[in-house]
Amino acid sequence: MLTRHTFRITGTAIVAGALLAMFSAARLGAQQSAAPTIPDSKTVVSYFISEGSARSGFHPTDRELARWAFEAWQRSAEGGLRFESTIESQALIRLHWAEPIDGQYGETQPLMVGGRLGAALFVRPDMESLGPDIASRASRDPLLRDSIVYLTCLHELGHALGLTHTRDVRDIMYFFGYGGDIVDYFGRYRSQLRSRSDIATTSGLSAVDVSRLRALYNLRDRRPGRVSWRERAIGGERFLAPVIDQSNPSLITVVADWPLTVAK
């Protein structure tokens, strides 16, 4: 079990993601729903992807991997979210390539942009710091290395959009701290690829990742057997809580941190 390798997100970054989803300067409070308002298809979320340095393990083609991550989340929203590249000073979401920290893949931090909350994403593309097993395999297989960088971008962007960790290893929002075989986690995605260009069309998002995003943004999801989310008051605070479809009980594991109700 390789549990020391983690994606990291600060507690305030969760709030930053939720507020980013609201596309306004409104603040969450005890009297206000945690569910974001519905963005229309004309709403644009600006983003910036930086260049990286050789010390970070950055490859010039990594910017393309990051762009594909933005496009994957946009496709999953089916018109409910639109991303547009801009200059760094104007971007609500800014993705940077950070130097390695032992065992850490990426990090998301809140960011103020013109009075609005955005997010700064830090992705660490150096494979050597991720342990000898990952480093050895990635050095022999460039597609595995690119898979890891792409999936890290995808995960951190999920946080920027307001999504928290899950316990289900099938999800991009899975947290390595819950255990599991990390090499296998990345290997399952890698096995779907024949060439690097396949990453652009192989999202890496699970059905639950997509359902959670659509619920967060109040986008309709009529597919059978999916998780739906409803607002609940717990201990004086308001949360989105899952309602599990009994026809697909395996989904219960992804929301073990939440109070559970069962759809009748």
pLDDT digits (tens, 9 = 90+) for 206-215: 999 998 888 8
Q: pTM for the whole thing?
A: 0.74
**Which amino acid is residue 20, in one-letter code?**
L
Judgement on whether residues 206 and 226 belong to the same structural domain of the protein: no
DSSP state, residue 127: S
Cα–Cα distance for residue pair 122/219, rounded to 1 Å = 28
Judgement on whether residues 202 and 241 belong to the same structural domain of the protein: no
Cα–Cα distance for residue pair 221/227, rounded to 1 Å = 9
Identify whether 123 is part of a domain: yes
Predicted confidence at residue 43, as pLDDT, reads 62
Using an 8 Å Cβ cutoff, are 21 and 36 in contact?
yes
pLDDT (tens digit, 9 = 90+) per residue, 231-251? 555 445 444 445 544 454 444
What stretches of 87-225 show up as alpha helix (H) in DSSP? 132-140, 142-160, 182-190, 207-216
Predicted confidence at residue 231, as pLDDT, reads 52
- The yes-or-no verdict on residue 35 having pLDDT over 90 is no
Residue, of 80 and 238, whose pLDDT is higher: 80
Identify whether 130 is part of a domain: yes
Beta-sheet strand order (sheet of 104-113): 6-9, 104-113, 116-123, 93-97, 45-49, 83-85
Judgement on whether residues 156 and 229 belong to the same structural domain of the protein: no
51-55, 62-66, 72-76, 245-249, range with the lowest pLDDT: 245-249
Judgement on whether residues 146 and 232 belong to the same structural domain of the protein: no
Judgement on whether residues 110 and 187 belong to the same structural domain of the protein: yes
Predicted confidence at residue 88, as pLDDT, reads 97
Beta-sheet strand order (sheet of 237-245): 228-234, 237-245, 261-263
Predicted confidence at residue 255, as pLDDT, reads 36
- The yes-or-no verdict on residue 252 having pLDDT over 70 is no
Identify whether 1 is part of a domain: no
Judgement on whether residues 202 and 255 belong to the same structural domain of the protein: no
Judgement on whether residues 59 and 103 belong to the same structural domain of the protein: yes
Judgement on whether residues 194 and 179 belong to the same structural domain of the protein: yes
Domain that holds residue 205: 6-215
Predicted confidence at residue 15, as pLDDT, reads 41
pLDDT (tens digit, 9 = 90+) per residue, 92-145? 999 999 998 867 899 999 988 888 889 999 999 999 999 999 999 999 999 999
Judgement on whether residues 90 and 189 belong to the same structural domain of the protein: yes
